[in-house]
């Protein structure tokens, strides 16, 4: 017997309709590429997203055709999020930090039809347009009078001229909630990039989950600052979750330095911010150097790579900002776990609470997870046993776009498919996940594993260290030994021996790195994470002392 409830598909357009009807005057504030501040409301987003949908219909785009963006976090990008997906097309957000060859490759692979770009990416468009035969229109996200005339890019129009004259009424179509809504390519450290293809259903379920109190706890009282880019995993779903609760959104545009982000937080009374550790490093650096305090910011979600304990401390103890350590990945839309305490933890001493907060957190309802050994056997949740982390759930990929890379899932005894995350982790008795490492970054020393994350976390707690990266290097006896690459803070000093001494008592003796290499900079990838592959390449002539 079927239930007798209404069969209404979960569609992205419904989020916008809700935000318009119930929170129409909540603000969307954007720092524009031009540097000025633009402000309008959810009602304006809805009206202009309908104009975008009309403009797309005028292009004779088919259902599920791809419309790409190369854009910062801003209001026009938000209109495309809703106009493209809402009208049944697929929004393909491209990471502008990728190499032009990669951008051309993924635009071709996705068969993008239209590409919308911020003017800061015009040189990139000029470099790739001739190699993107499927793209029939290039839309510069600017006013008509700012459209560059001699760009050499054919079929180029300004966004405002393209959509601005369209009618503001449009009936959002109804369709199967499993239809594709947006796509995001993973950085592809090995092989070709692969795309996660999100659906309306997966996006809405993820948006609901993100708002839960033990996840991001979003509400109509929040002013949300997504520093995490809209070109990477839909800014962790915040453009959707903010609509679902009617929150104000504050978009930082291209200005991601500590000073600009701090000023925006203060002037727009931001309560909630989300980003990767490298961005928060800049923000904290600015706040510390200028002796500033946050007056409205209460929570920050930090994820994408391990959040150093020193950063959690600084936010919580010095600034009174709650850190929500999060773990996820492109293939998971991206949220998997978030770290909040349970009722039984509330009476624990601060230090014990902080120890919990340093883990990546508990699974969100909708995400199943387990850790397995090399033979696929489930390992105990004791906080000690570590193994390969597998996940499944309605917002986890089952395969990549166009079947790239084959079937990624691993079947269990019940023939249920689990997605292998490529992470190595422990899970404790309370269900808190702790990422030990990426499986390819873990250092295998004499049959024992050393977590590069642990080694890095200790180093960045040293006052002279701005950034640290731990990699394994060949050792004739132990196979691999850890070394730590350090970037010093400006005008700070620390020697090799002082730093190695700093490790004493903080980790097992055999896990202490064998050497310290000082560098001016550590290579950072397109999503703000340390590029270990590139770093290893830079260190290829390095030999351990005495090895
Ligand atoms: P995203 O950049 O959104 O996190 P990616 O797919 O680029 O998504 O990267 C996912 C990987 O990033 C994870 O598999 C994991 O290795 C790493 N990662 C994400 N969050 C954390 C975290 N809080 N701690 C440690 N590693 C993390």
| Residue-wise pLDDT tens digits, 121-164 | 999 999 999 999 999 999 999 999 999 989 999 999 999 999 99
Cα gap 50→13, rounded to integer Å = 10
Domains of the chain: 12-19+36-197 (3.40.50.12780), 444-538 (3.30.300.30)
The residue among 219, 20, 185, 190 whose CA lies nearest residue 109 is 185
Q: Percentage of the chain surpassing pLDDT 90?
A: 85
Q: What is residue 189's predicted lDDT score, i.e. its pLDDT?
A: 55
CB of 360 within 6 A of ligand 1: the answer is yes
Q: Which of 347, 335, 261 is nearest to 302 (CA)?
A: 335
Q: Where are the beta strands (DSSP E) in 133-263?
A: 137-140, 156-158, 180-185, 195-199, 223-226, 248-251
Ligand 1 close to Cβ of residue 423 (< 6 A): yes
Which residues does the annotation mark as catalytic? 186, 331, 444, 449
CA of 233 to the centre of ligand 1 (A): 11
What is the average pLDDT across 114-126? 97
- Does residue 225's CB lie within 6 angstroms of at least one atom of ligand 1? no
Indicate the top mutation candidate among 97, 329, 339 to test ligand 1's pocket, ranked by most ligand atoms within 8 A of CB: 329
List, for residues 435-485, the tens digit of each pLDDT value. 998 888 889 888 888 999 999 999 999 999 999 999 999 888 888 999 999
Any idea how long the chain is?
547
Whether the model pTM is above 0.85 = yes
Listed residue (234, 235, 223, 289) closest to 257, CA to CA? 289
pLDDT tier for residue 261 given thresholds of 50, 70 and 90: very high
Placement of tokens 């809504």 in the chain: 181
Mean pLDDT, to the nearest integer, of 370-384? 95
Nearest-angstrom CA–CA distance, 483 and 443: 10
Segment 374-387 shows an average pLDDT of 94
Distance CA 416, CA 405 (A): 20
Q: Whose CA is nearest to atom 13 of ligand 1?
A: 329
* Mean pLDDT across the chain: 95
**Per-residue pLDDT, 527:** 77
Question: What residues contact 318, with CB distance under 8 A and at least 6 apart?
Answer: none
């Amino acid at each position: 017997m079927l239930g007798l409830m209404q069969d209404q598909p979960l569609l992205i357009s419904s989020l916008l309709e809700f935000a318009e009807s119930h929170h129409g005057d909540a603000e969307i504030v954007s720092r524009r590429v031009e540097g000025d501040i633009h402000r309008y409301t959810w009602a304006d987003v809805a009206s202009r997203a309908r104009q975008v949908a009309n403009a797309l219909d005028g292009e004779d785009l088919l259902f599920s055709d791809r419309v790409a963006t190369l854009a910062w976090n801003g209001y026009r990008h938000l209109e495309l999020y809703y106009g493209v997906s809402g009208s049944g097309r697929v929004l393909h957000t491209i990471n502008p930090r990728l190499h032009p060859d990669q951008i051309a490759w993924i635009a071709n692979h996705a068969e993008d039809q239209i590409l919308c770009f911020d003017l800061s990416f015009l040189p990139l468009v000029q470099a790739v347009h001739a190699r993107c035969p499927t793209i029939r229109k290039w839309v510069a996200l600017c006013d008509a009078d700012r459209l560059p005339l001699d760009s050499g890019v054919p079929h180029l129009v300004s966004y405002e001229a393209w959509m601005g004259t369209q009618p503001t009424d449009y009936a959002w179509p109804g369709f199967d909630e499993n239809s594709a809504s947006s796509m995001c390519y993973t950085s592809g450290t090995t092989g070709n990039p692969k795309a996660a293809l999100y659906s309306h259903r997966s996006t809405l379920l993820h948006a609901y989950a993100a708002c839960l109190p033990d996840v991001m706890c979003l509400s109509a009282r929040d002013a949300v600052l997504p520093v995490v880019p809209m070109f990477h995993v839909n800014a962790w779903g915040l453009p959707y979750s903010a609509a679902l609760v009617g929150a104000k959104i504050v978009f930082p545009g291209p200005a991601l330095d500590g000073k600009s982000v701090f000023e925006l937080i203060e002037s727009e009374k931001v309560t909630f911010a989300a980003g990767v550790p490298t961005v928060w490093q800049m923000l904290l650096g600015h706040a510390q150097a200028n002796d500033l305090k946050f007056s409205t910011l209460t929570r920050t979600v930090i994820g994408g790579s391990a959040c150093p304990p020193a950063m959690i401390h600084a936010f919580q103890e010095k600034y009174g900002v709650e850190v929500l350590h999060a773990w996820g990945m492109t293939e998971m839309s991206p949220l998997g776990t978030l770290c909040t305490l349970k009722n039984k933890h509330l009476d624990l001493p601060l230090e014990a609470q902080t120890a919990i907060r340093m883990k990546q957190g508990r699974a969100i309802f909708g995400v199943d997870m387990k850790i397995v050994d090399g033979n696929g056997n489930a390992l105990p949740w004791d906080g000690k046993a570590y193994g390969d982390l597998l996940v499944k759930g309605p917002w986890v990929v089952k395969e990549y776009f166009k079947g790239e890379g084959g079937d990624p899932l691993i079947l269990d005894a019940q023939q249920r498919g689990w997605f292998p995350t490529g992470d190595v982790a422990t899970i404790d008795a309370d269900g808190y996940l702790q990422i030990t490492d990426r499986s390819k970054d873990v250092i295998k020393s004499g049959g024992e594993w050393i977590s590069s994350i642990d080694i890095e976390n200790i180093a960045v707690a040293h006052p002279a260290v701005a950034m640290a990266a731990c990699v394994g290097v060949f050792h004739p006896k132990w196979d691999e030994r850890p070394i730590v690459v350090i970037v010093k803070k400006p005008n700070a000093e620390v020697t090799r021996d002082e730093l190695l001494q700093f490790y004493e008592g903080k980790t097992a003796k055999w896990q202490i790195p064998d050497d310290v290499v000082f560098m001016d900079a550590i290579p950072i990838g397109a999503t703000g994470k340390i590029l270990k592959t590139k770093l290893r390449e830079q260190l290829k002539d390095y030999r351990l002392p005495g090895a």
